Structure 1
Amino acid sequence: MESSPLISIGLPISLFIIMVGIGLTLTLRDFGQVTMNPRGMIVGTIAQILLMPLVAFAIAPMLGLGPALAVGLVIIAACPGGTTSNLFVLLSRGNIALSILLTVSASLITIVTLPFFTNYALQMHFGEGADISLPVGKTIAMLVVIVLLPVAIGMFIRTRAPERAKKAEGMVSIFGGLVLLALIIALMYGSRDRLLELLAQAGPAAFLLNLVGVLIGLASSRLFGLSQRESLAVAVELGIKNGTIALMVTLTLLESSEMSIPAVVYSVMMYGFGAILIMMGRRLVPITP
């Protein structure tokens, strides 16, 4: 699984296409709407980029995770919101413009923060002298190419051909979901000999990370006076992660199927939490006329 060309080449290409899809949802007007009241962006970005990895660092020793699973948990925690988070926010009647901007801003900041948190986790759990490390320069360059560039391309297409962009947006979201599903199935099959053992270890940690992330999103938003719609957007962004980025880091850069298990488990569980937020939002937030 680690050395498969399908993973080393196909996964970055798939992620590039998925990130184009995020760019297709974004216009310059969205930036203007949110910057007029930036509290949601500030709270959501800090919670995604800083608090979630810190939660993962706390959960790993608390649940006695092995080194590989502990690092994998930090990696999925340090990832930005996923491509489907905007759909969950829309269905929960949350603030969709804030959700899109949080996805994009966290994706761009992740270019720098993800290598930092990953290497810190590797040093903490494998020791200073360990052979395993994430090449920072290569990782940043790869993330720029498959995150920053495609988002810019998507925004350009949205500006030039808004109707086509709107049609393509849905197809790219479906493509992203199918890629993640295919990866999850392949990884579970590849780790079938130790699957139950790994799931038993990573399952509670992934569940707790997801639960705490959603609660942090709701609590911090209300603490800083955000509206219900903004709070839902922040909570969904913290709960629905871009598991494809985590799998790209663990499989193509670190070449470790075991480190990818927390991302796989989290990527399955997060849809359950997303469904709960949808039900909550539809009960609490009135339909906008």
Structure 2
Amino acid sequence: MQSSFLSAVLLPLALVIIMFGMGLTLTVQDFRRVWIAPKAVAIGLIAQLVMLPLLGFAIASLTPLSPELAVGVIILAACPGGPTSNLFTFLAAGDVALSITLTAISSLITVFSIPWVVNLGLQAFLDQTSTFQLPFGPTVVQIAVVAIIPVVLGMLVRHYAPQLAQRTDRSLRWISTAFLAAVIVGFFAQERQNILAFFQSVGGVVLLLNLLAMALGVGLASLTRLGYARATTIGLEVGIQNGTLAIAIAASPTLLNNPAMAIPAAIYSLVMFMTGGIFVWLRQRYQPTRAVQTAAEVPAAVGSHLE
């Protein structure tokens, strides 16, 4: 995927539309929830922002990837949860409010953490003399422009014109999905001679990262007694990444401008719908009875009020 209309125009536009659509679903209350349910939010953010990048480094180090693909895995693990996780959480009968809160807060924090994590990956997997590097200040500004500002604008529309936001939200979901599909299709069209090699080289690694990330989120939430719904939510938040942002960081002419590093995120963007769908089906199928689930979540709810 060379520097082209696809990477220079269509990809940033797709990300702006996706993040604006996410903003249409957010309110200030979603950010205040960190004080309402601090334990659940803290566990989710620790899993997303600390443990997932560590998992990404471990997988990239232990699997036979080229340096560029290894860095691509790190970029993916450094990104926040994607808006798709909110949809999957709803379908899996998870805590949608918690999902939206984690997506929103992690999107804000990763604006500052992504340059640091990705540069660690560049130092670990590429030659120390490599010219690839994400300058902290410009990277923060660029990510904010395409990710945070659209969210804020969407929230303003939601606040001042809630009916318009409600009407626009559904259309934007389809539009953003179409743009993301166009980016992925365009990527594979330009690299059609290498598609099979891409899946062979990184498909299994991306699938492993996705599955272990969801297991990590569910396991950590379960160990901390957050209840079934919140464990489902955190599993999806940690496992469903913002692949569009990862592709933008890797392929954008003004950031890394390295098409090879975008391969893991592009393949992941396809894989996550399959694994996310299976995860939703499993959580629905083996969901405890409402009485059992409520009993399990009462201690967590009580504890959150005591924190």
In structure 1, what is the Cα distance between the partners aligned to 2:226 and 2:251?
38
| Alignment correspondent of 1:130 | 130
Tell me, yes or no, if structure 1 residue 263 matches structure 2 residue 271: no
Tell me, yes or no, if structure 1 residue 190 matches structure 2 residue 210: no
Q: Which deviates more, 70-79 or 187-196?
A: 187-196
In structure 1, what is the Cα distance between the partners aligned to 2:290 and 2:162?
26
In structure 1, what is the Cα distance between the partners aligned to 2:186 and 2:2?
11
| Alignment correspondent of 2:8 | 8
- CA drift of 1:6 comes to 3.5
What's the % identity of the aligned pairs? 38
- CA drift of 1:34 comes to 4.9
> Structure 1 segments of 4 or more deviating over 6 A?
none
In structure 2, what is the Cα distance between the partners aligned to 1:24 and 1:80?
18
Q: How does 1:134-173 map to 2 (within 5 A)?
A: 134-173=134-173
Tell me, yes or no, if structure 1 residue 74 matches structure 2 residue 74: yes
1:128-167 C-alpha deviation (Å, 9 max, x unpaired): 2111212322210011112221111111111112122122
Q: Which deviates more, 93-102 or 247-256?
A: 247-256
In structure 2, what is the Cα distance between the partners aligned to 1:67 and 1:169?
40
Amino acid at match of 2:259: S
In structure 2, what is the Cα distance between the partners aligned to 1:39 and 1:217?
14
- CA drift of 1:242 comes to 0.9
Q: How does 1:1-289 map to 2 (within 5 A)?
A: 1-252=1-252, 253-283=255-285, 284=287
Distance 1:286 1:86, change over 3 A: farther
- CA drift of 1:286 comes to 5.4
Distance 1:150 1:286, change over 3 A: farther
- CA drift of 1:198 comes to 2.3
- CA drift of 1:287 comes to 7.2
In structure 2, what is the Cα distance between the partners aligned to 1:244 and 1:198?
18
Q: Which deviates more, 265-274 or 98-107?
A: 265-274
- CA drift of 1:191 comes to 1.8
| Alignment correspondent of 2:298 | none
Q: SS at 2:187's partner residue?
A: helix
Is contact 1:83-1:173 (8 Å) kept?
no
Q: What are the ranges of 5 or more consecutive residues in structure 1 without an aligned counterpart?
A: none
Is contact 1:93-1:287 (8 Å) kept?
no
Q: Provide the TM-score with structure 2 as the length reference.
A: 0.89
Amino acid at match of 1:273: T
Is contact 1:239-1:273 (8 Å) kept?
no
1:212-253 C-alpha deviation (Å, 9 max, x unpaired): 000001000011111211111111111211111011101102
Amino acid at match of 1:196: L
In structure 2, what is the Cα distance between the partners aligned to 1:248 and 1:237?
20
Q: Provide the TM-score with structure 1 as the length reference.
A: 0.94
Is contact 2:81-2:242 (8 Å) kept?
yes
Structure with larger Rg = 2
Is contact 2:98-2:230 (8 Å) kept?
yes
Distance 1:111 1:240, change over 3 A: same
Amino acid at match of 2:116: F
